[in-house]
Structures are given as structure tokens and as C-alpha cells.
Amino acid sequence: MKKLFTLLAGIVIATITYGQTTQSITVCHTAAIEKFALFASNKDFNREHPTPRKYVHRSTEGGEMITFKCPDGTSANGYLIKAKAQTDNWIFVFQEWWGLNDNIKRQAEKLYKELGNVNVLAVDMYDGKVTAAREEASKYMTEFKFERGSQIIRGAQTYAGPKAKIGTIGWCFGGAISIQATLLLGKQATACVIFYGMPETDVEQLKTLNTDVLGIFATKDRYITTEVVNKFEDAMKAADKKLILKNYDADHGFANPSNPIYDQAADLDAWKNTVDFFRVRLK
């Protein structure tokens, strides 16, 4: 239980800039709801997330919603695209703060198509709650508890099986979850991708990583700032872990095609780096 609560360090130091004023917020290793609330309850942070364009996903690869059991006996959900042939290669996909919406299903299917024989599971961290409204997304992210999140991740891990080699990827909220999930997955973790999510900076925790990390960040991001990214880089060096950093001259959320601030050029390059990263580590 002690290890579980230590892993709640998804957000340690956040630097938030408002115009000419910079406010530093330090967060201790407490419940995830308190950490995420620092961002989600902030109106300026909310305005950084434009209402997504409407998108309806129709799978061409047999993707479907599934239910799986968690260690505590509860059930959780995910969007699964099964490999056409048996393989122990898996990727867990983690949502933005909107929930497991059709855009995340699209991203999961895109990974599946490009990587070939791999199982892709987009894990529902909100237990069915999905929205396109910033106010609701803020509420969901504020209410999120990593105690529940860890049960969902553990349940997905059990569903994948003890021989599964698992890569993780997530955007924003999901980026923060991606590295925390990798820490939870232990020796079954094989690759971790973070898209502009709050990274882990606890060196002792990072020493337990079983994977290399690809960190994709936006230099115009006013929340996951260059300072935050630099601290992550320093912590990974101190932990003697490999970090591949890709910084783009873009805004937070640039890789979401349904986002009005979508940056196609940056996204295409970031996606190529992501696919290459997974291909090498999921052989």
C-alpha cells in the first residue's frame, strides 16, 4: 500500500504563468485528486482547452468496448483492438481529460494500423464518463483518484496476461497517467510515451522504471513548461534512465486532430517518433 501511495506523484512541481505573473505551486505526495485539482480548478487552464471538434469514430479494425475485472472485485472498461494473430505485445492508451472519447479510439486504432501485430487497449480511467464541455472535464479530472486509477491499470494488466509486454501512451491527463502506469506495470512495461503530460520527477521512483521514455512536449505550453520538462530531464539523468525528448514549437494539445489548435506538421513528426519508438521496443 505504501508503494501505491508513493506512485501518486504524477504532479510534483507545476509552474503556472498568467500574463506577466508567474506562480509556482509545489505539491506533496498526496492523493491524485489534489494534484490534478490544481490544474483542473484553474479557469485559465480550462481556457487552454478549446471545445473539441465533433468526431464520430467508426472502427475498421474490429475495435470494441470491453469490460474487465479489477483486483478489488470492481469492473472497468476499455476500447480493445485485438491483434489478428496471437502476440504478447500490448499498448495501453490513456485519454485526455475529456474521457475515453472517439478521438482516443481513433488514436488507438491509428497505432494499431501502423504497428501491425499488437493488441491496443484504450483504458477508460473515468469509468464511462465522457464530455466535450470544459466545465465537466474539469470536474472529472478534479474528482479522479489514483487509488481507483491504479485498480483500473492493474485490471488491464491482468487482462493482458502475465507474459504481456506493455507500452503506454497518453496525452495531457493521459500523459501523466502514462508514466504512472509504467511505474505500476513493473517488469511488464516496455515503452512509455508522454504527450505534454505532467512527468514524474521523483528520482527514487524513476529508478524503478523498466522502460525508456519518449517525452513529447510543447514549448508554448504555459503549464507543462520548459522548466518542468528540464526538471524531468534532470531527474531521469539522476535516475540513470533513458529519456528521448522532443520539443515542438506548438501549444498544449497540438497533437489532437479534433482540437481547434491542432498543429499538423508538429503532430506528424511527433507521431513518426512515437511509432518508431514503439517499433524498436515491441519487437
Q: 142 vs 30, 173, 213, 252, CA distance in Å?
A: 14, 11, 26, 19
User: Helix crossing, 32-40 with 134-143: angle to 10°?
Assistant: 160
Q: Cβ(220)–Cβ(252) under 8 Å?
A: yes
Q: What is the pLDDT of residues 39-87, one digit of tens each?
A: 666 766 766 677 777 878 888 888 999 999 999 999 999 999 999 999 9
Average pLDDT, the chain: 86
Over residues 3-20, the mean pLDDT reads: 36
| Joined grid coordinates for residue 20 | 506577466
Q: In this model, does residue 250 exceed pLDDT 90?
A: yes
> pLDDT at residue 202 above 50?
yes
Statement: residue 36 has pLDDT above 90: no
Task: Tell me the C-alpha distance between 69 and 58, whole Å.
Answer: 26
CATH code 3.40.50.1820 for 2-50+61-281: yes
Residue 165 bridge partners (DSSP): 89
DSSP string, 59-126: -SS--EEEEEE-TTS-EEEEEEE--SS--SEEEEEE--TT-S-HHHHHHHHHHHHHH-S-EEEEE-TT
Give the predicted TM-score (pTM) of the model. Answer: 0.86
Q: What pLDDT was estimated at residue 30?
A: 36
